[in-house]
Structure 1
Amino acid sequence: MVQRNIAKYTTMAIMLLPAAIIIVVFLIAPSILTILISLTSLDYRFRWEWVGLSNYYRFLSDPNTPIFFRNTIIFVVGTLTFNVGVGLLLALLSTHIHDTIGTFLRAVWYMPRVLPSVVWAFVMMWMFSPMDTGFLNSLLKSMGGKPVPWTFQYYWPFLFIVNGFIGCSLGMVIFSSAIKSIPQELIMAAKVDGASGLTIVRRIILPLIKWQIAFVVAYQTLSLLASFEYILLTLDGGPGYYSTEVLILQAYHLAFGQYLAAMRFGYAAVFVTILLVVGLVLSIVYWKVFRLKELMIEPKLE
């Protein structure tokens, strides 16, 4: 019996070893290295001069730090709301029409995710350009209207749309699969009892896909904390003084977005470390609030 248990756990350890190596090499080791770098004055000369918590004191005393936090919260909450809301809406619409049309609709909405980032950013900048030659302003001008400075006046909605069209496709696919897995007998029985479409969505569909919604919310929250690609490609933290500069984008600017002599890897690592801590805290909160542990409990066979 003992030998059988040893063989069992040995087999489990061997099976888990590749995943454990990947986690250590690509997740744990870089995280530890980032924390160590944040305790140094590492710059373009790559000299490891230990400064302790000086970078953190500087971070806390920087008058721009509240701006970076505020922008990060606005960006994450706004984009997350767009991603989950639009993704759920698209999933409901595409699963309640003909399968061919629904599949085509999902494929069209998935296109921004497979486009190169630079191409998608260029298309969106052209559509929302504040110039007369922009797509939306050209339409307004043809109807006798005045051009609107979209990216200057409505920069946060612009970023929500640019990032949201990418992010909502993931939720759309996950939610669509979950909705299609719901037994049709439940929905048919509800219709026979006189339930409206809104009641079916609210009382049957949404409760049955709550785990998928929880996963998408948790995953995309953590993903958005480290997302700055489309902010960089479109507004680059502007317009104006740090109008859309989030924490991770500021870290990029400090480390790579300046001239060689101005690169401050040590101070930039502070921003990444702070985001790492925030991500860990949010992971624990989501784990508790959404009861994600129940997803891993073995099903009880009657």
Structure 2
Amino acid sequence: MAFAIRPLSRSTADRVLFLGPAVALLAMFFLVPAIIDVAIAFTDMGRNLRVSEYTTQNVARMLGGDSRLTGIMAVTLTYVLATLAIFNVGYGLLLALLTTALPDRAGAFFRAVWILPRMSPSVVYALLWTWVVAPTEYGLLNQVLAGLGFPAVDPKSNAPMLVIVLANGFIGASFGMIIFTSAIRSIPEHLFHAARVDGAGELAIVRHVTLPAIRWQLSFVTIYQALSLMVSFEYIWLITNGGPFFDTTVYALYVYRRAFENGQYAYGAALALGLVVVGMIMAMVMWRFFDMRALLQRPRIEARR
């Protein structure tokens, strides 16, 4: 019996044409590495890249045999919450509110200034921060303090968490600033005019008009930046190298150091798998907390062609 092959419909062909390359790239660079990571996590692979047995010892070590992991998780939680709340969301929102209140050219200028660090290479940005907090008399901070009559300080040794929060926060605030600025610009002007006619002040307008109107953007930036902070460590590595000791070693940096500095590839893969699980749980909790499903629903009344 011969079977006729039905041709693809136009809509199906369009989906394959436009989504096919993206799906292929996701499978190649995300799905396949994740499968490989899971496979390595249950081996004894070391620096010689040889696998002699499959074991669950790495998972058992991660769940109860690694004495440093609890402290690493505490450092990561402090770093993520402080950077996210104060800078990536809070300061980004403040910058958006202030620059949209200015004339267009002045606002655009200040936004461009805040974007410059994100456009510069990570090494250059980290080198500038290393100069700022250098404990010698040539460090920028100590030069300013000396001019004011204060003694020199060593923030990298005495307040390393503050250094990495500031370094990551100032560059991370630019992302939220751009998203929030675009959202504020899209709010209909008549809502602001009506609020002012009703006697609302600027703070009342921000609270009752601006913030409710950009709720989706606030939720998105919070979730996206929280997940980004969980897996990023390049500025911490370049500025403090996770030190002193392990005081600024976040989870992602700990994975890197175990795998590539200590040659414990299998244990590093198990730690990376744990990071994926934690990220998925955190994303689902935040998705539910911000009620993103309701925010992504189509409007009940919409124009149809």
- TM-score of the superposition, structure 2-length normalised? 0.92
Tell me, what secondary structure is at the counterpart of 2:102?
coil
| 1:135 aligns to 2:140 (yes or no) | yes
Q: Determine the C-alpha separation between the residues in 1 that align with 2:125 and 2:273.
A: 30
1:301 maps to a residue whose letter is E
Q: Please, which moves more after superposition, 128-137 or 273-282?
A: 128-137
Shift, 1:61, TM fit: 1.2
The counterpart of 2:191, out of the listed 182, 186, 192, is 186
Shift, 1:15, TM fit: 2.9
Q: Determine the C-alpha separation between the residues in 2 that align with 1:10 and 1:100.
A: 46
Number of residue pairs the alignment of both structures matches: 295
The counterpart of 2:103, out of the listed 76, 89, 98, is 98
Shift, 1:19, TM fit: 1.8
Q: Is the CA contact (8 Å cut-off) linking 2:180 and 2:217 kept in structure 1?
A: yes
Task: Report the counterpart of residue 39 of structure 1 in structure 2.
Answer: 42
Once the two structures are superposed, the pairs formed by residues 1-302 of structure 1 within 5 Å of their partners are 6-59=9-62, 60-81=64-85, 82-239=87-244, 241-257=245-261, 262-299=262-299, 300-301=301-302
Q: Determine the C-alpha separation between the residues in 1 that align with 2:14 and 2:238.
A: 47
- Cα deviation digits, residues 9-30 of structure 1 (max 9, x gap): 3433443222211221111111
Shift, 1:117, TM fit: 0.7
State the identity %: 39
Q: Please, which moves more after superposition, 266-275 or 292-301?
A: 292-301
Task: Report the counterpart of residue 3 of structure 2 in structure 1.
Answer: none
Q: Determine the C-alpha separation between the residues in 2 that align with 1:32 and 1:67.
A: 28
- TM-score of the superposition, structure 1-length normalised? 0.93
Q: Determine the C-alpha separation between the residues in 2 that align with 1:120 and 1:11.
A: 43
Shift, 1:49, TM fit: 2.8
State the superposition RMSD in angstroms: 1.7
Tell me, what secondary structure is at the counterpart of 1:256?
helix
Shift, 1:284, TM fit: 1.3
Q: Determine the C-alpha separation between the residues in 2 that align with 1:251 and 1:219.
A: 21
> Aligned in 2, Cα 1:22/1:293: closer, same or farther, shift over 3 Å?
farther
Q: Determine the C-alpha separation between the residues in 1 that align with 2:230 and 2:153.
A: 30
Shift, 1:86, TM fit: 0.7
Q: Is the CA contact (8 Å cut-off) linking 2:44 and 2:55 kept in structure 1?
A: no
Tell me, what secondary structure is at the counterpart of 1:26?
helix
Shift, 1:295, TM fit: 4.5
Q: Determine the C-alpha separation between the residues in 2 that align with 1:118 and 1:15.
A: 36
Shift, 1:234, TM fit: 0.7
Tell me, what secondary structure is at the counterpart of 2:101?
coil
Q: Determine the C-alpha separation between the residues in 2 that align with 1:293 and 1:283.
A: 13
Q: Determine the C-alpha separation between the residues in 1 that align with 2:148 and 2:296.
A: 57
Q: Please, which moves more after superposition, 82-91 or 13-22?
A: 13-22
Q: Determine the C-alpha separation between the residues in 2 that align with 1:296 and 1:192.
A: 32
Shift, 1:4, TM fit: 10
Q: Determine the C-alpha separation between the residues in 2 that align with 1:42 and 1:176.
A: 48
2:170 maps to a residue whose letter is F
Q: Determine the C-alpha separation between the residues in 1 that align with 2:236 and 2:44.
A: 27
Q: Determine the C-alpha separation between the residues in 1 that align with 2:227 and 2:61.
A: 26
Q: Is the CA contact (8 Å cut-off) linking 2:161 and 2:247 kept in structure 1?
A: no
Q: Determine the C-alpha separation between the residues in 1 that align with 2:15 and 2:47.
A: 45
> Aligned in 2, Cα 1:5/1:298: closer, same or farther, shift over 3 Å?
farther
Q: Is the CA contact (8 Å cut-off) linking 2:44 and 2:53 kept in structure 1?
A: yes
Shift, 1:98, TM fit: 0.8
